[in-house]
């Protein structure tokens, strides 16, 4: 059995409450915490922004990648470029412009698809779903599936390697908070699904240990007439997420957790009112990445804690340094210039270090680490 060392203590000039009512000479609060935002934490009050570094040396620096510039229009999702990865997770970006005339099956783990652009039809073992931008689609391990875009689709694909996706424990707020599980859509064995059950040559690409095997059929393997049970592909759109909010306290990113795996979580930032209490922090607090690597994919809107970030970009903050809002965003928060956010973003927090894929270096904004400097 293990137990965190715990000794609540105050030293020097501090606020009584984290993220609120800062002392005037220490308005730059920094949180150092363990186990993401669930372990013990210390809150420091600094006279200068903890991100006001002069320069960076070494590979740990914060990074930004413009996935719009990746070569992603490839034959199969399994051929799409890996942006980031570790033993427990693969983070890909794929563009699907044409009807898939084959099926894919990932035997390495569950896949989470996030539709960044486009719309179309998903066919899988469980039936048919119409999908659109903003949809999350959880595909259980070894499910056969394919897409028929009606508009070209760009998709973020996060593989839970040798693992599965589950819903977060919602604790005191109850099982219907953030989104009611009744909002999850399930594929249907409908007329569109039955219409594709035709004779002809079909290939199923199966990925196992990152090697591809191909199984050939003389008919469509998606020929089910029905199924029953509690395992299925499920879909929810970010527009159906109702975020937790507090007008007096800035909630940590963990409050926006959407899906969990054993070694990482996926969170969704959606539009919400900004804290209105005069003493409450109105932007994300400066914090250390003490146990997790943080990745944010920007889907839409104006991300209120960042400058010069566009839809289709990804930021990567490895474990080991302090990060937080850009200078303009911090000042706008102090002035309460905005009353609500209009951002939509997908955050991945991994317990294990991520490695950068070779293709990502070609679309990196190498000046990103300089973006916290105050322009004089």
Annotated catalytic residues are 250
User: Could you tell me the sign of the dihedral formed by the alpha carbons of 318, 324, 326, 327, in that order?
Assistant: negative
How far apart, in Å, are the Cα atoms of 191 and each of 88, 194, 197, 266?
38, 5, 10, 34
CA dist., res. 352 & res. 335, Å (int): 37
Please check whether residue 158 is in contact with residue 77, taking contact to mean a CB–CB distance below 8 angstroms.
no
How far apart, in Å, are the Cα atoms of 222 and each of 138, 198, 217, 247?
18, 9, 11, 49
The two three-digit tokens of residue 322, written as one number: 């302090």
Please check whether residue 114 is in contact with residue 136, taking contact to mean a CB–CB distance below 8 angstroms.
yes
Laid out side by side, the sheet with 257-260 consists of 63-66, 313-317, 293-300, 344-350, 264-269, 257-260
290 annotated as a binding-site residue: no
The two three-digit tokens of residue 188, written as one number: 């249907």
228 annotated as a binding-site residue: no
Residues 6+ apart with CB under 8 A from 212: 78, 205, 206
323 annotated as a binding-site residue: yes
CB atoms within 10 A of CB 296: 24
Q: How many Cα atoms occupy the beta-carbon half-sphere of 1 within 13 Å?
A: 1
Please check whether residue 91 is in contact with residue 114, taking contact to mean a CB–CB distance below 8 angstroms.
no
242: left (phi over 0), alpha (psi -120 to 50) or beta: beta
The two three-digit tokens of residue 68, written as one number: 């719009």
Binding residues are: 287, 293, 323
Binding residues for Fe cation are: 287, 293, 323
Binding residues for homogentisate are: 323
């Amino acid at each position: 059995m293990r137990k965190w060392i715990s000794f609540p203590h105050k030293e020097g000039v501090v606020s009584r409450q984290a993220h609120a009512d800062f002392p005037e000479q220490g308005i730059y609060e920094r949180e150092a915490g363990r186990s993401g935002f669930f372990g013990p934490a210390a809150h420091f009050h600094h006279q200068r922004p903890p991100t006001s570094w002069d320069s960076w040396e070494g590979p740990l620096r914060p990074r930004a990648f413009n996935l719009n510039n990746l070569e992603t229009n490839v034959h199969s999702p399994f051929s799409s470029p890996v942006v980031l990865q570790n033993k427990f997770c693969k983070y890909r970006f794929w563009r699907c412009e044409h009807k898939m005339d084959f099926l894919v099956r990932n035997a390495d783990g569950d896949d989470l698809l996030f539709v960044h652009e486009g719309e179309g039809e998903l066919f899988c073992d469980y039936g048919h779903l119409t999908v659109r931008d903003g949809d999350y689609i959880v595909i259980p391990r070894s499910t056969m599936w394919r897409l028929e875009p009606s508009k070209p689709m760009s998709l973020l694909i996060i593989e839970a390697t040798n693992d599965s996706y589950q819903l977060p424990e919602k604790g005191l707020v109850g099982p219907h908070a953030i989104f009611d599980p009744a909002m999850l859509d399930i594929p249907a064995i409908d007329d569109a699904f039955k219409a594709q059950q035709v004779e002809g040559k079909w290939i199923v690409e199966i990925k196992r240990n990152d090697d591809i095997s191909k199984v050939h059929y003389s008919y469509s393997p998606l020929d089910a007439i029905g199924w029953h049970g509690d395992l299925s592909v499920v879909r929810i759109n970010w527009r159906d997420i109702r975020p937790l909010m507090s007008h007096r306290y800035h909630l940590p990113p963990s409050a926006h957790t959407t899906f969990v795996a054993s070694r990482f979580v996926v969170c969704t930032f959606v539009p919400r009112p900004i804290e209105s209490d005069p003493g409450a922090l109105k932007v994300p607090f400066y914090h250390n990445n003490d146990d997790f690597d943080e990745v944010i994919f920007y889907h839409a809107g104006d991300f209120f804690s960042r400058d010069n970030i566009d839809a289709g970009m990804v930021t990567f903050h490895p474990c080991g340094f302090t990060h937080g809002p850009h200078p303009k965003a911090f000042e706008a928060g102090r002035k309460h210039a905005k009353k609500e956010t209009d951002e939509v973003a997908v955050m991945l927090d991994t317990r294990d270090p991520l490695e950068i894929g070779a293709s990502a270096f070609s679309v990196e904004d190498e000046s990103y680490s300089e973006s916290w400097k105050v322009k004089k």
